[in-house]
């Protein structure tokens, strides 16, 4: 099939198109970001989610990985990793959390809970998550304190550390 029109025809049509968006079809369409289930909108889930994002970011930085590199290592979408680290209301996919747990060598069920994919019924984990989220900051390099907080939280997620009750 050949479509033959003059340069002037194409240019006038391009100008007519202006700044209009042109996407069509479901393949070009994507629904609004995942809605969180009602249970996950509780304060606990919110705290855990923030901690999950911070945990992923610090673990990545400790390893000196870019988002793309970690996404490649974990075989997950870089876009989802970006959203997780941003602490937005996005509910990550179970596979994503599973792969991150593998890469970081922590307990998959606990990371699922932290990410909001499993019922958050572990009070100790929640307290540790809040403590971790409150103490960690997004700096270019991990401070010794951040490192210690991260180590302690990794131990909790790995099921090796003791959960404080205070």
Whichever of 34 and 119 has its CB closer to other proteins, that residue is 34
CA neighbor of 32 nearest in space, from 85, 78, 91, 118: 91
Q: Shortest approach of other proteins to residue 12 CB, angstroms? A: 4
Q: Shortest approach of other proteins to residue 160 CB, angstroms? A: 33
Distance CA 133, CA 138 (A): 11
Judged by the rule CB under 8 A, the positions of this chain that interact with other proteins are: 1-34, 77-80, 82-83, 86, 88-90, 93
The DSSP letter of residue 84 is: H
Neighbouring C-beta atoms of residue 152, cutoff 10 Å:
17
Q: Shortest approach of other proteins to residue 74 CB, angstroms? A: 13
Whichever of 29 and 144 has its CB closer to other proteins, that residue is 29
Report phi then psi at 161, rounded to 5. Answer: -95, 155
Q: Shortest approach of other proteins to residue 73 CB, angstroms? A: 16
Whichever of 2 and 141 has its CB closer to other proteins, that residue is 2
Distance CA 85, CA 66 (A): 12
Whichever of 78 and 155 has its CB closer to other proteins, that residue is 78
């Amino acid at each position: 099939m050949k479509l033959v029109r003059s340069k002037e025809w194409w240019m006038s049509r391009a100008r007519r198109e202006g700044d209009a968006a042109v996407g069509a079809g479901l393949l070009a369409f994507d629904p609004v970001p995942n809605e969180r289930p009602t249970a996950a909108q509780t304060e606990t889930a919110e705290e855990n989610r923030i901690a999950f994002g911070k945990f992923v970011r610090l673990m990545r930085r400790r390893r000196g990985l870019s988002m793309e590199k970690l996404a490649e290592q974990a075989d997950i979408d870089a876009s989802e990793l970006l959203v997780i680290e941003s602490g937005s209301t996005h509910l990550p996919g179970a596979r994503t959390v599973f792969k991150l747990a593998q890469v970081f060598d922590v307990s998959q069920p606990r990371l699922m809970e932290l990410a909001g994919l499993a019922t958050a019924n572990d009070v100790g984990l929640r307290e540790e998550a809040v403590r971790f989220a409150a103490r960690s900051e997004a700096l270019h390099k991990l401070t010794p304190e951040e490192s210690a907080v991260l180590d302690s939280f990794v131990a909790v997620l790995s099921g090796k550390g003791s959960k404080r009750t205070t």
